[in-house]
Amino acid sequence: MRINVTVNPLTRIEGHLKMEAVVDNGTVVEARSGATMYRGFEQILRGREPLDAVQLAQRFCGVCPSAHAVASSQCLDNAYGIMPPDNGRILRNLVQGSNYIQSHVLHFYHLVALDFVKGPDVPPFIPRYEADYRLSDKASAAVVDHYLQALQMRVKAHEMSAVFSGKMPHSASVVAGGSTSAPEIDKITAFLARLSELRAFIDNVYLDDIVTIAKAYPDYAETGAGCGNLLSYGTFDLDNTRDVTKRRRFYGMGRYQAGRVEALDPAKITEDVAHSWYASPSHLEPSLGETLPDARKDTGYSWIKAPRYDNTVYEVGPLARTMILLTNEPDSAQAKKVTEALTLLGLKKHHLFSVLGRHLARAIETKFLADAMVDWVLQLKPGEPSCADLPMPESADGFGLWDGPRGALGHWISIRNNVIDRYQVIAPTTWNSSPRDDQGIPGPVEQALVGARVPDPNNPFAIARIVRSFDPCLACSVHVVTPKGRLLHKVTAV
């Protein structure tokens, strides 16, 4: 028997998400992912001062504002043909790195953990679906204890970011040309002290809890595989090479496909709109992207476009960064740690393509990033500049490609007559939660849901567990808005 299951709102993610699945005899055979909130930032940015883009683009998302701040500032750097001085490059890495820790800790404990353990019997932890909680009372209580501890740890991660960014969310210091912040010894000390506490938490609590959950839910290493193709722009600049495809980054740029890592050519990224509510031509490069809304398009079912690389579906995020690292640098400490964790859990490399694999990749990445940040802070040079002079030509084009916590984030800008003429964003969740493309191929989350067991359509916890493993961030993912709206339910019915 085929049943339509709707989960709306899908809570404990960033933003407004509606998931629909067709369940046939207890198994998902088809899924659609739909965003239910639109602001129209790309329209809003048009005609504004280019420098203002960095501040406004941060407001795409209050969970990952640093990623948009850095991508947007790199977009302007690229347009202006400049690179930040070392201090500026490092300060951006530190502001972003702190927020990676904040975002990953928040995601695992405060968005995901309640899928696997029962919280206290008080709101907002009740009501809940009474199903499939497998930890012992003692183990479950320990994770809840860590949930509360993690609330304080993520506050500290934001404090770290604010030491160099002024405030979080929405930092004041990240600008075209680098950072306005001056690295001084009191800030360096304040940052390192908090980082040290966070590293202890990651090593002794976060990583252990991932293993606890993984051991209790081994079937989730076989659930939610997704499309199998992975893409990352790389992230955290380690030098000032102008060409981003040649720049040394802490996580490298690349594509993982069929066991190999291939080079990434940004020119091969296009956005399809066959199933999105846009009348503009499909299959355009983002730098030429158009966003002509058509709310009455019969084949549309989402405001999210379908980004594709060389006509192929790609997943982005910690799993992508991890698989590229495992392939390119199997002897690195992080790659070894991933292999060690897989062995401990009795899993193989292919199991990383799963709900548990995504959580594991995210947690281990948090550790190695936090460890690396100690070195980065110590490379700061008080007294030297953090920001390059800005030539600010009347007309210019640029792009910023950068991985935020949730994956590959691209910003594209065209400046004409000193104002923004065109601004396009492809956010990580645009890739992961994309609808079907021109060829009718579903997006990564939609593919990951197919095959999921949903024995009780009134209790769709399995759907939520799979979707949340991607860490969706809906506010980021949606493109332009039209005042000619359309009732979502009319077109998302499956």
Partner 1 sequence: MKKHTAVDVPLSTLASRRETRDAQYGFSRRDFFRWAVAATAITKFNAEFLPRLGAAVRDAVKEYPIIWMQGQSCSGCSVSALNTVHPSIKKVLLDELLPGHQLILNFHPTLMAATGSMSVDVVRETVRSHKGKFILILEGAVPIADDGLFCTVGDEDGQSITTLEWIRRLAPDALAVLAVGTCAAFGGVAAAKPNPTVAKGLGDILEMEGIATPLLNIPGCPAHPDWFLGTVAHVLLYGLPEPHQIDEMRRLKTFYGRTVHERCTRRDDMEEGIYASKLGEGGCLLAIGCKGPFAYGDCPSRRWNSRVNWCISANGPCLGCTEPAFPDGHSPLYQRV
Total interface residues for partner 1 by CB under 8 A = 103
Q: Which stretch binds partner 1 (CB under 8 A): 7-15, 215-223, 403-411, 435-443?
A: 7-15
Mask: binding to partner 1, 170-209, rule CB under 8 A, as x and -? xxxx-xxxxxxxx-------x-------------------
- Burial (CB < 10 A; 0-12, 13-18, 19+), residue 172, is middle
Report the nearest approach of partner 1 to the CB of residue 51 (Å): 5
Report the nearest approach of partner 1 to the CB of residue 76 (Å): 11
Q: Which stretch binds partner 1 (CB under 8 A): 165-173, 247-255, 336-344, 393-401?
A: 165-173
| Choice between 241 and 418, CB closer to partner 1 | 418
Cα 372 to Cα 387: distance, rounded to the nearest angstrom: 23
Which residues 134-163 are close enough to bind partner 1 by CB under 8 A? 137-138, 141-142, 144-145, 148, 151-152, 154-155, 158-159, 161-163
Which residues 228-267 are close enough to bind partner 1 by CB under 8 A? none
- 166 sits near partner 1 (criterion: CB under 8 A): yes
| Choice between 39 and 242, CB closer to partner 1 | 39
Cα–Cα distance list, 479 to 38, 117, 120, 423, 443 (Å): 8, 35, 38, 10, 16
| Choice between 61 and 448, CB closer to partner 1 | 61
Strand duo 230-232 + 27-35: pairing? unpaired
- 6 sits near partner 1 (criterion: CB under 8 A): yes
Give the residue from 117, 105, 338 showing the smallest Cα distance to 217.
Answer: 117
Which residues 343-402 are close enough to bind partner 1 by CB under 8 A? 385-387, 389-390
Which residues 435-494 are close enough to bind partner 1 by CB under 8 A? 460, 464, 475, 480-489, 493
| Choice between 101 and 227, CB closer to partner 1 | 101
**SS3 state of residue 166:** coil
Task: Tally Cβ neighbours within 10 Å of residue 337.
Answer: 17
Report the nearest approach of partner 1 to the CB of residue 67 (Å): 12
Give the residue from 440, 444, 417 showing the smallest Cα distance to 430.
Answer: 444
- Burial (CB < 10 A; 0-12, 13-18, 19+), residue 197, is middle
Cα 491 to Cα 432: distance, rounded to the nearest angstrom: 21
Report the nearest approach of partner 1 to the CB of residue 335 (Å): 32
Structure tokens at 354: 């799963």
Asked whether 373 and 163 are in contact (CB, 8 A), the reply is no
